[in-house]
Amino acid sequence: MKRFFISFVPLILFVFLTSCQTTEQLDKIPPYFLNLNDISYTIGDTLPNILEGVVAQDQQDGILTLNITIDDQSVDWTKEGTYPVFLSVKDQAGNETIASLLITITKAPFVDVTAPELKGLSNLSYVIGDALPDLREGVTAIDEVDGNLSSSIEIDDNDVDYALPGTYSITYSIIDAAGNRSTSTRTITISESIPDVDLTIYYINDTHGAIEAFNDQLGLSVIGNLVLNEKELNPDQTLFIGDGDLLQGNILSNYYYGSSMIDMLNIMKLDAFVLGNHEFDWGLETIQKYKDPSSGEIQADFPVLGANILRKDTILFLTSSKR
């Protein structure tokens, strides 16, 4: 019995080892992949899940998807091209399967969303009777993609009455190839024609209070008759201007500090009095009172002009005080 047991144990061990060896020899079939498809990717999109839908399966071990190894080192997700990606999986018996798929990377298609730009739409003026303005002159439409579209500009001036004075709006619009539209308006001011007018200007200066005629001095009576006659004949075409140093000099004016001369110029219908340096011989206050009703003095019926006059006490002189 003891001898039989000793002989039986090796037999059992041999059968067990033979059985294991047979099992290992039987699992020579590697795993396989299902749903392995190429991938298309557009730069800027969310990176794809390479294993989406992919299954790794083995006849002995079943589903091995979690054991898949991905090699995508050759893929540049920022550059256009077609790149291979390698997938590998092993079963428990060490059988390995390697498969590949292609990833095609492209740039996103360009979408033109920028409208053309309209330029040169300054306001217009038109005089009735003149040649109608060229509404396209100087106006351009430039598109970043389509270039110069000026010839395709649409102009709507249906609301403009070129025979009636007024201010109107003109609408300009342009559409590029992608359908982007720009619209702008400009105004046109229409006026009646103004006939040519002859203007007669009488001008005196440096009279220095010479109210009466004396030697070669005409006196204000002669000058006044000439001016007033012309103003009566052509009131809207006659201008009478005094250009400074009119008041100081003659006793008839000096005695009254220029008021007698102001009175005469009112009678002569002076249109404007430009101050000269001698208008300040009696001080600034004297000339000011002729435009100040509260002064009690005679008032000038004409504007008193002096755009280039400066007060010494209100400006900084950089020259020597000895000047």
Q: What percent of the chain has pLDDT over 90?
A: 69
Give every CB contact of residue 45 below 8 A, 6+ residues apart in sequence.
Answer: 108
What is the assigned CATH class of domain 200-314?
alpha beta
Q: How confident is the model at residue 9 (pLDDT cuts 50, 70, 90)?
A: low
Model pLDDT, residue 308 = 76
Please give the pLDDT value at position 322.
Answer: 38
* Integer Cα distance of 103 and 86 in angstroms: 11
- The ranges assigned to domains in the chain are 26-106, 117-191, 200-314
Please say if the pLDDT value at position 25 is more than 60: no
What confidence tens digit (pLDDT) does each residue in 216-246 have?
888 888 898 999 999 999 998 999 999 999 9
Helix axes 259-267, 219-233, angle to 10 degrees: 30
Name the superfamily (CATH) of residues 117-191. Immunoglobulins (2.60.40.10)
For position 311, what pLDDT does the model report? 72
Residue 315 pLDDT? 64
Distance CA(72)–CA(37), nearest Å, equals: 15
Q: What is the pLDDT of residues 85-130, one digit of tens each?
A: 999 999 999 999 999 999 999 999 889 999 999 999 999 999 999 9
Pick the CATH number of 26-106 from 2.60.40.10, 3.90.220.20, 3.10.330.10, 3.90.320.10: 2.60.40.10
Q: pLDDT per residue over 39-75, tens digit each?
A: 999 999 999 999 999 999 999 999 999 999 999 999 9
Q: What is the residue whose two structure tokens read 């019926």?
A: 301
- The string of DSSP codes covering 176-190 is -TT--EEEEEEEEEE
DSSP class of 292: -
Judging by DSSP bridges, how do beta strands 181-191 and 124-127 pair with one another? parallel
pLDDT in tens, 127-179: 999 999 999 999 999 999 999 999 999 999 999 999 999 999 999 999 999 99
The pLDDT tens digits of the residues spanning 245-281 come to 999 988 989 999 989 999 999 999 999 999 988 988 9
* Rounded Cα gap, residues 168 and 189, in angstroms: 6
pLDDT of residue 4: 47
- Fold equal for 26-106 and 200-314: no
